[in-house]
Amino acid sequence: MVKTRLQILGLAGIAALLLLGISTAAAQDGDAQEPEGWAYAISNDLMSPFCPGRTLSACTSSQADELRMWLIVQEASGRTRADVEAELFERYGDVLRPAPRAEGFGLTAYVFPVLAFIAGGVIVTVFLRRQSRAAAVAKSSSKPSDPELERIIDQELAG
């Protein structure tokens, strides 16, 4: 009789754990089915005009809060992301871009590191060649040592 009660309690515990697992999985699936709209994505993609060096979503100013709310309202009203982005770039300019444009002066941000890397490679190559040539010249121009002097040094070292 005690054994059957323990079995019933064990089965009830397993059933409770299964129900808890199912309800947790269903809640997580429900969260996964609600995709974030573009208003949240755009605030992660664009830089804040109010907090330099931070994305709009990471900016803590009240103006950034207002702009994020404006984005949500624009999405809810049915505007497209492209229209809203165009309006934001018209209003705030290139400050919103996380990286400069690859045109005009902004192209230097992409070209300069490559040129600096190549120039550094050329400098290192020239330096190493000069060093190896100087070592070769020094080695070839050294006077042959006197055989008598070498014999005396060998005796001193051996003795």
Residues 94 and 54 in one domain: yes
Residue 5's CB: how many other CB atoms inside 10 A?
A: 9
Show which of 48, 69, 98 is a domain's final residue: 98
Q: How buried is 59 (Cβ within 10 angstroms: 0-12 exposed, 13-18 middle, 19+ buried)?
A: buried
Residues 135 and 115 in one domain: yes
Residues 52 and 29 in one domain: no
Q: Is the pTM of this model over 0.75?
A: no
What is residue 146's predicted lDDT score, i.e. its pLDDT?
Answer: 82
Q: How many domains would you assign to the chain?
A: 3
The pLDDT tens digits for 92-129 are 988 898 887 778 887 888 889 999 999 999 999 999 99
Residues 10 and 57 in one domain: no
Contacts of 42 (CB under 8 A, 6+ apart): 56, 71, 81, 84, 85
Instruction: Evaluate whether 55 touches 45 at the Cβ level (below 8 Å).
Output: yes
Structural domain of 13: 1-34
Take residue 95 and report the two structure tokens written for it.
């400050």
Round the CA-based radius of gyration of the chain to a whole number and report it.
37
Average pLDDT of every residue of the chain: 80
Q: Which residues of the chain have pLDDT under 70?
A: 1-36, 141-144
Residues 29 and 52 in one domain: no
What is residue 100's predicted lDDT score, i.e. its pLDDT?
Answer: 79
Show which of 73, 98, 123 is a domain's final residue: 98
Residues 146 and 132 in one domain: yes
